[in-house]
Amino acid sequence: MESPSSLYPKTVDLTNCDKEPIHILGYIQSHGMLIVFDKSSFEIERVSENVLNNFSRKRDDLLQSNLFDSLTIDEADEIKSYINKKETYALELTIEGFSFNGIVHYDNDLVYLELEGATLTKNREIPQSHLSDIVSELSDATDVAHMCDEAAVLIKNLLNYDRVMIYQFDENWNGKVISEARDSNLESWLNMSYPATDIPQQARKLFLKQGVRIIVDVNDEPVKVVPELDVNDKPLDLSRCELRAVSPIHIEYLKNMEVGATLTAAIISNGELWGLIACHHYSPKFISYYKRLSIKFLTQVFSTQLTLRDSNRVLGKVNEVSKNRGILVEQMSNGWDVHSGLTTINGHTLLSINESTGGAILLEDKLSVVGETPEEKEIQNLIDWIYNRKDGVLFHSKSLPKEYDAAVNFSGVASGVLCLFFSENKKDCLLWFKKESKQTISWAGNPDKPVDATAGTLSPRKSFEKWNEEQVHTSESWKDYEIASAKALRENISSVILNKYEEVKSLNDKLNEAYKDLETFSYSVSHDLRSPLRGIDGFAQIIKEDYYDTLDDFGKSAIERIINSSNKMNALIDDILEFSTLGKEEIKFITIHMGEVVSEVIDFIDARTAYPDTQIDIQENFPEVKGDKTMLFQLWNNLISNALKYSSKSENAIVEIGFEEKEDSIVFYVKDNGIGFDSKHSEKIFGVFNRLVSEEYQGTGIGLSIVKRVIDRHNGTIWSESEVGVGTTFYFKLPSIENYNS
């Protein structure tokens, strides 16, 4: 099995610096010494080579010997008492007559003892009263920007570095100097940005572990830790060591910046690296471990205040968004209209839950938009592209044109997009858009040239001159609370849809009950009403046949009225029964030639005999459809009968029956030049008992309701065009034959 050291690159340069094993480099900085010994036996397993030099010991004599037998340490008992404590601790030690600040921590079975030269007591730490004042000043800062400015000035005054910067990471780990305190002779680096490659991933991880990192002298010759590998061929992990040496690449980087010494403290918010407090000095500078502890404490206070302020800001946003979502739910629930509830301009909309400038919802094949958005076709294509990526239900980007070429055409209104699908199996989704936010980024050197290859090898760039980049096709970032609120709204919509489903189910149950009542009513109509009606009609016919001549004019008129009313009542009962049975009969889909059905209807109503003065034009070569023949017969029967009836009194009456081939469907029609009706009644005309004509024309007011129900049962569409005194045309279309199973 390979040793861990063999897994890392033999030669580290800018092409692989993110893999550089900086935690096991095997060197420490020369301002201190390192002794590593076994926790149980106190046997020394590793030392830095300057231990051998400073204490005049031979390597073979020192290694594998007991720490306290090999070196005279006055505080041996104190060290032993701290061994089982997990945290790092510091103590003052006297070894071989020399005073040191000792820093102790342990990892598994190894104890690390780091030795730094002792400093005078009055200078070794920051007074408690001073720290309290600083904490108060940070707490009193009015906002995050003010707090960062205060922190930079305070730490510069405490440590007297030439330059102190507050450096914040973005979502891509690029850094930006957001606050600065510096000597007056230095050029300002405020608002300068640095690419993520300047602080590689493994360095950021170590900041999370260590908190504060010091480089005393960039020109220092590091000291080797011996032996390099232990008996298991493993290098020593120096992750938590204060003295850990610096990556040669980083040293070269600092030299190119002409920096002599640094101190860096990690700003950690919600467990993540928010940024750094970066202190630069232009000559060697040492800060004692106790002062570093004080800076670590101040940085923790700063981080806590930062997290608190950010949390309060986000909490305010979350509360506002939650309130707005409640209003949206109320709007959606009003009439169970999700689209209208989310996009109504005079109320709250999709845009009320984040900082977007446009939004859209695709639900049940309907697309609705609000605010500034791309064209509907562009949105549909974008949804298809996101869906086909198969990245799950969530997608967001602040630079959409860099990922989706077509987005360049609408980057002005939608450089940023947040898309949330309701499920992985359907394209129904919510979308939010953010406008392009054009801005100029000032980089410390060209970020596209992070390396210099003039010497034939790759090394950190030497130029840090201000380099401006115009940022285009990019929006403001999507914040965590915006994504969370989008997810919450999706759940709200799902609940509204579920509630709508429950209501529809309840209505359906009631409808089933109504159907049962209708069946009972139909039975009653066919039996209980027909019997007395037959009696009335029968006796009226007897009176007419046997006593008609003995009646006066009024009596004769009354008999005729009784017989006519009886006939109308019979026709009405027939239509009611026909209408009621249409809703419950099972549709039997077969292939039907429409021309044959039309011919059968013409023969059935004996149209040419009953209406000899009406010209009936029937188009040839009718297409085939899929449908229920009995129902379609009823449909044509009612439409043709109405056309003949309502045009019969017209001069040169004409009824046309035909079809039109459209791009995606076939539209059938029945056209007449009869009495017509006002087009504002186009929808009303299909209602039960809604007659728009006088008693001059016989009818029950149910015929067109039967037509509408037949169309609905076939998932088709029907509409009309009409003008009073000019005529009426009824159009209908059925799903194409390919959409039915044979």
Residue 736's pLDDT band (cuts 50, 70, 90): low
C-alpha pair distances (Å), 48 with each of 30, 66, 226, 410: 9, 16, 6, 62
DSSP state of 552: -
Residue 431's pLDDT band (cuts 50, 70, 90): very high
Could you give the percent of the chain with pLDDT greater than 90?
20
Residue 467's pLDDT band (cuts 50, 70, 90): low
Cβ count near 79 (within 10 Å)? 20
Distance CA 342, CA 371 (A): 11
- Identify any residues that bridge with 433 across adjacent strands, giving them in sequence order: 358, 417
pLDDT at position 585 over 90: no
DSSP state of 478: P
pLDDT at position 711 over 50: yes
Residue type, 648: S
Number of separate helices (H) and strands (E) present in the chain: 19, 29
| 294 exposure class (CB count in 10 Å sphere: 0-12, 13-18, 19+) | buried
Which one, of 615, 527, 532, 534, lies nearest residue 567 by Cα? 534
Residue 678's pLDDT band (cuts 50, 70, 90): confident
Q: How far apart are the first and last CA of the chain?
A: 66
Q: Is 462 helix (H, G, I), strand (E, B) or coil?
A: coil
Residue with the bigger pLDDT between 337 and 455: it is 337
Distance CA 403, CA 397 (A): 9
Q: Please, how many CA atoms are within 13 Å of residue 106, restricted to the half-sphere of its CB?
A: 16
> Is-contact 533 566, C-beta < 8 A?
yes
What is the crossing angle of helices 128-140 and 144-159, to 10°?
A: 160
User: Residue 32: its pLDDT value, please?
Assistant: 93
User: Residue 700: its pLDDT value, please?
Assistant: 47
pLDDT digits (tens, 9 = 90+) for 503-515: 666 666 666 666 5
DSSP state of 526: I
> Is-contact 594 618, C-beta < 8 A?
no
Residue with the bigger pLDDT between 433 and 634: it is 433
Mean pLDDT over 453-476 rounds to 58
Distance CA 32, CA 35 (A): 10
pLDDT at position 487 over 80: yes
Cβ count near 468 (within 10 Å)? 8
Q: Is 291 helix (H, G, I), strand (E, B) or coil?
A: helix
Transcribe 599-616 into DSSP letters: HHHHHHTTHHHH-TTSEE
> Is-contact 332 496, C-beta < 8 A?
yes
- Identify any residues that bridge with 430 across adjacent strands, giving them in sequence order: 361, 420
User: Residue 699: its pLDDT value, please?
Assistant: 46
Task: Tell me what the pLDDT averaged over the chain comes to.
Answer: 79
SS (H, E, C) 29-63: CCCEEEEEEECCCCEEEEEEHHHHHHCCCCHHHHC
Distance CA 416, CA 357 (A): 10
User: Residue 108: its pLDDT value, please?
Assistant: 82
Tell how strand 439-444 and strand 466-471 pair up. Answer: antiparallel
User: Residue 64: its pLDDT value, please?
Assistant: 81
Distance CA 697, CA 691 (A): 10
Of 130-139, 404-413, 628-637, the range with the highest mean pLDDT is 404-413
Provide the token pair at 338.
């999700």
User: Residue 440: its pLDDT value, please?
Assistant: 57
pLDDT digits (tens, 9 = 90+) for 376-393: 999 999 999 999 998 889
Mean pLDDT over 11-33 rounds to 65
Distance CA 297, CA 493 (A): 47
pLDDT at position 237 over 80: yes
Residue 576's pLDDT band (cuts 50, 70, 90): low
User: Residue 694: its pLDDT value, please?
Assistant: 44
User: Residue 441: its pLDDT value, please?
Assistant: 61
> Is-contact 239 326, C-beta < 8 A?
no
Q: Is 101 helix (H, G, I), strand (E, B) or coil?
A: strand
Residue 742's pLDDT band (cuts 50, 70, 90): very low
Provide the token pair at 246.
């610096």
pLDDT at position 175 over 50: yes
Residue 115's pLDDT band (cuts 50, 70, 90): very high
Rg (CA), the chain: 44
Mean pLDDT over 717-730 rounds to 87
pLDDT at position 693 over 70: no
> Is-contact 727 647, C-beta < 8 A?
yes
Q: Among 60-69, 498-507, 550-559, name the one with the lowest average pLDDT.
A: 498-507
The overall longest dimension of the chain from CA atoms, in Å, is 154
User: Residue 521: its pLDDT value, please?
Assistant: 62
pLDDT digits (tens, 9 = 90+) for 601-613: 888 778 888 888 8
Mean pLDDT over 620-647 rounds to 86
Residue 271's pLDDT band (cuts 50, 70, 90): confident
Q: Among 128-137, 153-162, 174-183, 538-547, name the one with the lowest average pLDDT.
A: 128-137
User: Residue 36: its pLDDT value, please?
Assistant: 92
> Which parts of 196-235 are beta strand (E)?
212-215, 223-226
Could you give the percent of the chain with pLDDT greater than 70?
77
pLDDT at position 43 over 80: yes
Mean pLDDT over 613-632 rounds to 87
pLDDT at position 123 over 60: no
Which one, of 154, 346, 330, lies nearest residue 338 by Cα? 330
Mean pLDDT over 418-439 rounds to 87
Cβ count near 467 (within 10 Å)? 17
Distance CA 112, CA 51 (A): 14
Mean pLDDT over 294-320 rounds to 84
| 103 exposure class (CB count in 10 Å sphere: 0-12, 13-18, 19+) | buried
